[in-house]
A and B are shown apart, each in its own frame.
Chain A
Amino acid sequence: MTDGAARLLSRHLAPPRSVPQTQALDFTAVTLTEDEREAETSRRVFKRAYNRLTSRFPNIRWTNGQWMTERPGGLDGARTETTAVYRPFSGPMAERPEQEMGPWVVNGHKFFSSATDSDMAIFLARTEGNKRLSAFYAPMRMPNGDSNGVRITRLKPKMGTRALPSAEIELKGMRAWLIGHEGDGIREISTILGVTRVHNSICAVSFMRRALSVAKVRCSRFSTSIPPPLLSVLRSDRRHTRRSSRHLVGASCARRLCTFARSPRWSC
């Protein structure tokens, strides 16, 4: 998820092309509108998060959480109830650390949030007057260390992957930044999903290879009974007569570990 988030944010770091270079260099000539200033700040915030997500230093590095599932269910997020309202900070720029928490205020409940111990989150929420969902970025903590409106209400008692805490969380007045345009949430978040799915496949492969290695070691070290017909076949095979009994056991085990490949399960 962390890599996926980094990939997603990296797509939003480039400055808009509409700002001519000469104007940007000449500070006196630059009069940014509110919107431009906000876009500028969001890029700075994203860049900082990106640097942390891709860092290799444990004290700088951030991990990302990704929150999709809500109480009404639905894997495509179509029934998302979390809402985001645009409430930019008003007043002087003096409150800059606060300003960088983002102009959107998010309220809602996420039913199954993975990586609750992460440092930031990317999630979907509904905005006013828009049927389609939008993607948001939010850090978990305020500059002063307080929680950014996130409350963990319940840890999930899972059957597996317990090293990764999943929880129900409540969002109340959480400050966030919109990623990309309103209504583009699904498209934006699919960038993360693309990367996490690849990680997932690698994980699956590593699990099965490890399980198989354990089984191999176990099979070749401990003698198991070889069915007599197989034993005679192995003895009659010239290649095997020179082998020790360990190899015979190994061959029996190999047959067992291979047989599965020929079961009809592949078809389902």
Chain B
Amino acid sequence: MELLTRAATHLAFLNVYLLSLSESAVDTPVSSVVVPPHSAHKLLRLVTPLAKVVTTKLSIAVISETVEAVGGIGLLENEEPLNLARLLRDAQVLSSWEGTTEVLVADLVASLKRPSPDGREERTYSLMGDFLRENLGEQSGGFQGDAGDVLERCKLAIWTEWEQLEELIEAGSREELIAAGRRILWRLSWVIVGAMLLIDARRDGDGAAVEAARRWVTERGLLEGKVDLAGGKESAWDAVLVFGADDRAERERDRNGHRL
């Protein structure tokens, strides 16, 4: 849940950053995220529907899970600000209003392949490729050892996934893409979130950030993750991800050596 919340946060704030760039362009970059010149507006059109679907769906799922995690109390109409029941009820509408998933999928496909004035299709999705190339880049982040390896592997996995996705988008007609739209939307958002987590981890090599990127990319939330029966290290990272590193010394240790 922590990871999903991080993912949603990254996506939402990328969206906000693009919105601000589209309204008032700045010459000096104010973020670690590189947005190629003159593409903010089109990227915004692409990311907005995608972020809306992903953040709201994850929000409903995560809140529902927290209701269960705290036991019976989660079902009560507690006093504010502890009222999870109300949060769950309120979150439900977020995915319906301002465009349901169906509407947003059509919107996303329309912004991936826009009909250009001469009747052909404009390859707007290639902007996403440029955006990812700029951000994944050649820079390994300068981290040596395990953290460097992890981040490099993440980068390759994200790029490979994007290339497959790009082929798919290129081959499909708009109708086909809308029919398969939900899958495309989730796969694309996996790629974008992966890139954001990677950028975040590269900024300072923070242990928790590297671990978040690793889990996001290598485990994919599916069955690909290794089953770790001993589970000790994984639990330790669970604790760091959820509650943060305990003390400074530990934080330093996390930063210096990311051991898997």
Binding site for B on A (CB under 8 A): 7, 75-76, 114, 158-161, 193-198, 200-205, 207-212, 214-216, 218-220, 230, 233-234, 236-237, 239-240, 247, 250-251, 253-258, 260-268
User: How many Å lie between the Cα of A256 and that of B62 in the bound state?
Assistant: 12
B99: shortest Cβ distance to chain A, in Å?
Answer: 7
> Could you jot down 12 A-B contacts, CB within 8 Å?
A75-B102, A197-B49, A205-B5, A211-B84, A211-B88, A214-B81, A240-B235, A250-B243, A254-B241, A261-B215, A266-B4, A267-B222
Chain B 1-44 near chain A by CB (<8 Å), digits 1 or 0 = 11111001101100110010001000000000000000000001
Q: CB distance B8 to A267 under 8 Å?
A: no
Tell me which residues across on chain B come within 8 A of A161, comparing CB atoms: 89-90, 93
A64: shortest Cβ distance to chain B, in Å?
Answer: 14
B191: shortest Cβ distance to chain A, in Å?
Answer: 13
B202: shortest Cβ distance to chain A, in Å?
Answer: 21
A50: shortest Cβ distance to chain B, in Å?
Answer: 14
Partner of A208, one of B5, B15, B98: B5
Partner of B221, one of A159, A205, A250, A262: A262
Q: CB distance B239 to A198 under 8 Å?
A: no
* Contact status of A201 and B239, CB under 8 A, knowing A159-B89, A160-B86, A266-B222: no
Chain B interface mostly: helix
B73 close to chain A: CB less than 8 A? yes
Partner of A261, one of B3, B67, B104, B239: B3
User: How many Å lie between the Cα of A268 and that of B181 in the bound state?
Assistant: 12
A204-B91, A208-B63, A240-B235 given. 6 additional CB < 8 A pairs? A161-B89, A205-B59, A208-B8, A211-B62, A251-B239, A254-B242
Q: CB distance B235 to A260 under 8 Å?
A: no
* Contact status of A230 and B103, CB under 8 A, knowing A207-B90, A214-B70: no
Q: CB distance B93 to A158 under 8 Å?
A: yes
* CB contact list, B236-260 vs A, under 8 A: 236, 238-239, 241-243, 246
Q: CB distance A233 to B221 under 8 Å?
A: no
User: How many Å lie between the Cα of A210 and that of B45 in the bound state?
Assistant: 28
* Contact status of A194 and B48, CB under 8 A, knowing A205-B55, A211-B87, A264-B221: yes
Q: CB distance A230 to B235 under 8 Å?
A: yes
Binds A, one of B112-120, B152-160, B161-169, B223-231: B223-231
Q: CB distance B92 to A160 under 8 Å?
A: yes
User: How many Å lie between the Cα of A240 and that of B238 in the bound state?
Assistant: 13
The 9 closest A-B pairs by CB, nearest first: A266-B221, A160-B89, A261-B3, A204-B59, A254-B242, A237-B232, A204-B55, A215-B66, A254-B238
Q: CB distance B4 to A260 under 8 Å?
A: yes
Binding site for A on B (CB under 8 A): 1-5, 8-9, 11-12, 15-16, 19, 23, 44-45, 48-49, 51-52, 55-56, 58-59, 61-63, 65-67, 69-70, 73, 81-82, 84, 86-94, 97-100, 102-104, 186, 190, 215, 219-223, 225, 230-233, 235-236, 238-239, 241-243, 246
Q: How many A-B residue pairs have CB under 8 A?
A: 202
Closest B residue to A192 by beta carbon equals B98
Q: CB distance A160 to B223 under 8 Å?
A: no
Q: CB distance B230 to A212 under 8 Å?
A: no
User: How many Å lie between the Cα of A200 and that of B90 in the bound state?
Assistant: 12
User: How many Å lie between the Cα of A200 and that of B101 in the bound state?
Assistant: 13
Closest A residue to B230 by beta carbon equals A233
Tell me which residues across on chain B come within 8 A of A263, comparing CB atoms: 221
Q: CB distance A260 to B238 under 8 Å?
A: no
User: How many Å lie between the Cα of A203 and that of B82 in the bound state?
Assistant: 17
Tell me which residues across on chain B come within 8 A of A237, comparing CB atoms: 232-233, 235-236
User: How many Å lie between the Cα of A230 and that of B225 in the bound state?
Assistant: 19
Q: CB distance A201 to B19 under 8 Å?
A: no
User: How many Å lie between the Cα of A216 and that of B62 in the bound state?
Assistant: 13
